[in-house]
Every structure is written in structure tokens, then in C-alpha cells.
A and B are shown apart, each in its own frame.
Chain A
Amino acid sequence: MNQVRRLLPDFGTTSSPTSVERLKERGFAEALRKVFAMSGEDIISQITESGIKGRGGAAFPTGLKWSSVYKAPGETKYVVMNADESELGTFKDRVLLEEDPLGALVGVLIAAHAVGAKKAFCYIRGEYRDVENRMAEALDTLRSQGWVGPDRVDVQIRRGAGAYIAGEETALFNSIEGKRPEPRVKPPFPTIKGLWASPTLIQNVETLANVAVLFAHDTEWFKQYGTKETIGTKLVAISGHVKQPGVYEVPFGMSLTDILNAPDLGGGIAGSGRLGAMLLGGAAGTFLTPEEIAKSSLDYASLGAVGANIGSGAVMVFDDTVDLVGVTTRLARFFAEESCGQCVPCRVGTQRVVELIENDGIQSRPQDLRELGLAMRDASICGLGQTAPLALLSLLDRPELRQHA
């Protein structure tokens, strides 16, 4: 077995995903009882000891973030679960919330108790209506057990309405506040000045689910998987030309080759049967050649060596017949459609990238595209504009990926 089941419930789990029985079966009820008897400091030191890092893409040490919110001056504090999963090729949070919605919500309650927040928001993309319903059911279960409510933590679900950028943490705050979801300038960081200018802890669904399983067990249990630098397991969303696309939980450090080919993971290359390339990390990710894939593993250091990043955990696989320039054109359109329009490099840059690529610019004007891409990467306000050119730049750097098709 290459896959692990920790964040995702065991295959033998029988209880319904939103039921009180599930809360018990997964150890979450016990975890809540335990945590609510602990002090904020003790909870946070256990988080720090576990080595959890943010799973939304930035891999910021979770303990450090919680501690920052805990220490930030302010009467009112908020916890936000970011379930606005809209990164292209990313669907891990959807599957996690479908299969075990209580986990991430228990993580929200633990976080709120730890940092001293009385109010929490779960922001979910508007296209995940069925998942939202399931989340609401799970919340009702927690309410019925007395864990959610005005005297504990008030948890509200907020539905997005079709805006990738609203997944950027400060844009998400603006969206909740009823403003245009345009990212804010940082610093100040959300831990100091987040939602309604109050200290705010915002975490990805998967990070919160990690917190829940950590407290349902203990630090030692938590640390049995992963590498020295990156502890634990990661959800990867494999799509495209593999025999078994889907979301899999794997230990950090697993080789990309195993992720693609293991019989209980990707199951091998589909399509032509020959691997052409991988786009790792979503639309904002990096194209890797078969040679780079062969020598890399799911770890920040290993991927850093080939200029890539785990990002959200999207693994998009292309066989050797796919026209990657065509794929890059679609990625460019995605960013042009999803740019908020606030800053010049992203607003106009994403538009010009589309126009240049559609007019054979990768072939005829690589230098202009490169300089434009670097300006977007360096000078955009937020992660959208900064990462929008990365896949393109990675394709420019790998001419061998442009030969077929």
C-alpha cells in the first residue's frame, strides 16, 4: 500500500460522514473534549511540535501562525476556513469535505478555542453547492452536540460566487466584508489585521483536517509519516492521463513516479501510455519533463531543485500527444478571466499574455513574453499575478516540451 488514510477516513469506515457516530468513530468527539480542557498555549505548542505546515500552497508553519494570532492584541478574533478551492486541477478539499466534513470543522473549533476566537467563517466556492450542503449538515451535528453555538464558537458558512481570486486570503476577507474581492497589500498580515481589521487565523481545509486528526491521536502518531523537513501526509489531486484520477493521501517524500504509477494511486499513464509532462501545483504551477519527474519526490526541497512547488497538491498529467502550448493558452485565459483587475501587471499583463500566445508568441517573441512574465511575477500585488506566468516561464525554459504536437 502506498496510500495512507488519515485525513481521509479508513476504507472500513461505516458511519455516515456527517453523523454523531462519525464524530466518535474518527476520535473527533474525544479530541474536542480534550482540547476544550486545554489552554491556548498548550494547544499551540502541540501544533508546533507536530510540525504541521499550511496545506493551501504556501506551507507556512501552522504553529507559528496560530501563535501570532494568539498573541495579537485585540478583543475580537476570527477563524476562517478557506474552502474556496478554485485552483485549476485542484479538487482535494472537495473530496475531503465530501468524505469527512467533520474533520475540517473540528479543526475550525480547535483553532477558535486555541486563539480565542468566538466567531468563525467557512468560505466555500459557489460551485460546490452539494459539498456546502454536506458541510451544513456536519455543522448541524456539531451544533446538536453543543460544540457550535453562541456560547462556544459561532460558525457561519459563506458561499462564494465564482471568483478564483476570492481564495486569496485577504481577497476572501473583503468578500466576507461585502466588498470587491480584491487582495489587500501585505503587511499588515491577517494574523494581525485580517477580517474587519481584527487578528484572523485563516487556514486551508486540509490544514484544519490535519489539526483534527492530530488531536484525535497524538504528536508521535502524527509524525510517523513524512520526511524530516516535511512531516505528515499530503492530499494530491491527480488528473489527466492517468488510469485512476482522484484524490490520494500520500506521505511527504513519495516519488512522483510512484504517485503516477502505483496500483493504488495513479495506476499508470493513460492516453498514449507514454508520459509527456506534468503540471504540478495547478494553473500557477510548473511544467516538469519526464526526466525531472523521474528524479523528484513530493517534498519541498526535492521539487525546489527542479524549480517546482507542491502548491495545492494538483498533479496534472499529460501524455506525449498533448499540445502543451494549447494547454498553456488555456491557462493564460484562466488567469485573464480570473484577474481582479486591481494592479497593472496582472490586469493588463494576463490579457497581453493571452494575445501573445494566441499569436504564436512562444515561438516568435519569447523574450517579450519572458520580460512580461517576470514583471508580473515581481510586481503584482498578490499571488495570482505573481504566479500567473510561472507555467508559461517553465514552458519557455523547457523547449523539449514544445517539440511534439
Chain B
Amino acid sequence: MENSVTLAIDGQSITVAEGTTLRAACDVAHHTVPTLCWHENLTPANACRACVVEVKGSRTLVASCSRIAENGMEVQTGSERVMNARKVVAELLLSTSDSNLAPDLIALAQNSGAQADRFAGGATWAQPALEDNNLYVRDLSKCILCYRCVEACGDDAQNTFAIAVAGRGFNAHIDAGFGRDLPESDCVYCGNCVAVCPTGALIGKKEWDLRQTGQWDESQITQTETICSFCGVGCELNLHVMDNQIIKVTSPMDHPVTHGMLCVKGRYGYEFAQSEEQS
């Protein structure tokens, strides 16, 4: 095959197209590696280190989400070093952030044999949720600093740059600048940050309210596909409906037009539609 590379993953020889990441190659070999910060439509942030693999000849482990496969590479996805790193990453995150709404993190913890409380008892990210607007809530105690929201707000999708990582070390956090509220920030409420958040740290206001009062019930939610009618772009919308009410709007991540990203009208327009119906 031209423009292809052949490498060994856990001893199995596989051939993939040039430019394929090790993560994708591992998928092809059915040795899928866990990921937290990686997202199909965003630039790899290399931040969580859950996806590390061992590459022969490399001093340290390698983040498979961004490393490009090369001819002759020998990759191990389950070596002792990899398993230790994965487990410790899960334990460190569990000791820091509230993982209640983080299915990927919970799965990582379970599959890696993490002891949830091994590194617990120290500093955490516990903090009050920020409810400063009617469309979404920032519950940063759930944040794992995966950078997805920053990338979606920035040049991977929205180009608004309303949020960035601020501070450093354990105090590094997502910030609109000096901790200011979103209404004072450059936020345009496209909600694309919410769409890509893997932990529920960014969550629609409606969902947040329903969860707070114990009314959110996944089993009662149905999804309906439609095309957004606010303009002529043709964004596909998934309306999440519970008790005859739209409670959330998303767009499929593999949709050729949206890639999962919407504008404020598509994502939150239903709020106005519903409130008008009710008035």
C-alpha cells in the first residue's frame, strides 16, 4: 500500500495510512486505549495522559492521541509502565475533582483498577458552582482541565477566545479573565464548550436545574432529529425531550456541517421558543 505505514501493536502487525495517530492505529488493532481529553473534532491537548502507550526506544511513555504512527514502531498498550501511569492518572483526578458526571473518567478508574481514595485527603477543586447566566452553569469542581472548552471556544471551532487557562500548577483553571462572570466576558453563548465538556463541569442550565431537583431522568429522555430553522446553514439538531419539553439541544459530532458545534440560536433558541409558547 502506498502512503501507508506498518507497525506492531502489542505484537500484532497492522498497516495504516500515513499520518494516522497511534490512538487511531490502536483502534484499528482493536486494542483501544482510554482517553479523557482527546476529542474527535478538537486538536489533541496532550493533557490527561490517560492514552499513553509504550513505544520501543522511547525513554518516556508517549501520548497516543497526538503521536503519529511510523514504520517499524513497536507499541505496547498494556505494559506495566502504561498500566501504572493510567491507574495513577485516574487516581489523581478522582482525588481532585467530582467525577459524578464523568463517565469516561469513571470507566478509566474501573478499567485501570484505580483505588479511588489512594491520593485523597489533600487539596481538591471543590468550589461553588457559577450560575451567572440563564443558559449554562460552570461547576468547576468537576473540571479535569482537559482544555476541550478552551479549544472549542478558540480556534478549533468558535474563534471567540472568551475563556483560557489561567494560573499555573494545581491552581491552573479555566477563566474568562480575573474570574469575571460570563455576562461581563466575551462569551457569545454558543454552548460549544458545554457540548465538548466530558465531566459535566459545563452543563446546560436546564439540565443543571432538573438535576438539582432530582427530576433529570435519562430513561425518560427521547431524541428527535431536526434541521435548525434559524438560518440557511442547515445545522442538524438533536432535540433532547423529557415530559414534552426540550431540555437540551446537541448536534452530532460526526455531522459534516456542524461537527457538533452550533450557535446560540441553534443550541439555546428553544429556550426562547418555549418561553414564548408559555407566555
Question: Do the two chains touch directly in the complex (Cβ atoms below 8 Å apart)?
Answer: yes
Cα distance, A278 to B87, chains bound together (Å): 33
B-facing residues in A364-379 (Cβ within 8 Å) = 368, 371-372, 374-379
Residues of A within 8 A of B95 (CB): 348, 352
A185 within 8 A of B: yes
Residues of A within 8 A of B63 (CB): 185, 381
A-facing residues in B203-223 (Cβ within 8 Å) = none
Residues of B within 8 A of A185 (CB): 44, 46, 63, 66-67
Cα distance, A371 to B119, chains bound together (Å): 11
Identify which of B155-163, B166-174, B231-239, B243-251 touches chain A.
B166-174
Residues of A within 8 A of B93 (CB): 344, 348
**Smallest Cβ distance from A235 to chain B, in angstroms?**
25
**Smallest Cβ distance from B115 to chain A, in angstroms?**
9
Given known contacts A345-B85, A377-B60, A381-B46, A352 and B119 CB-to-CB distance under 8 angstroms: yes
**Smallest Cβ distance from B254 to chain A, in angstroms?**
26
The 0/1 profile, CB within 8 Å of A marked 1, for residues 45-89 of chain B is 011111010000000110100110000000000000100110111
Given known contacts A375-B88, A378-B85, A339 and B168 CB-to-CB distance under 8 angstroms: yes
B255 within 8 A of A: no
- Most chain-B CB neighbours within 10 Å: which of A165, A345, A347, A386? A347
B128 within 8 A of A: no
B-facing residues in A329-348 (Cβ within 8 Å) = 336-345, 347-348
Cα distance, A113 to B81, chains bound together (Å): 44
Cα distance, A372 to B81, chains bound together (Å): 11
Cα distance, A188 to B213, chains bound together (Å): 50
Cα distance, A349 to B118, chains bound together (Å): 12
What secondary structure prevails in chain A residues at the interface with B? helix
B183 within 8 A of A: no
* Cβ 8 A contact of B170, one of A165, A339, A374: A339
Asked if residues B145 and A378 are in contact (CB atoms below 8 Å), the reply is no
- Most chain-A CB neighbours within 10 Å: which of B66, B123, B165, B168? B168
Cα distance, A341 to B122, chains bound together (Å): 17
B96 within 8 A of A: yes
Given known contacts A343-B47, A344-B92, A355-B122, A180 and B169 CB-to-CB distance under 8 angstroms: no
**Smallest Cβ distance from A215 to chain B, in angstroms?**
33
The 0/1 profile, CB within 8 Å of A marked 1, for residues 135-169 of chain B is 00000000011000000000000000000110111
Residues of A within 8 A of B49 (CB): 343-345, 379-381
- Chain A: interface residue total (CB-CB under 8 A): 35
* Cβ 8 A contact of B169, one of A350, A379, A386: A350
Residues of B within 8 A of A198 (CB): none
Residues of A within 8 A of B92 (CB): 344-345, 348-349, 352, 372
Cα distance, A381 to B46, chains bound together (Å): 8
Asked if residues B52 and A379 are in contact (CB atoms below 8 Å), the reply is yes
Cα distance, A368 to B85, chains bound together (Å): 12
A351 within 8 A of B: yes
Closest to A372 in B: B88
Residues of A within 8 A of B145 (CB): 341-342, 344, 347
A342-B165, A372-B92 are known; give 12 further A-B pairs, CB within 8 A: A187-B67, A336-B170, A340-B168, A341-B170, A342-B46, A344-B144, A348-B95, A350-B169, A352-B92, A356-B119, A368-B119, A372-B88
B interface residues with partner A (beta carbon < 8 Å): 44, 46-50, 52, 60-61, 63, 66-67, 81, 84-85, 87-89, 92-93, 95-96, 118-119, 121-123, 144-145, 164-165, 167-172
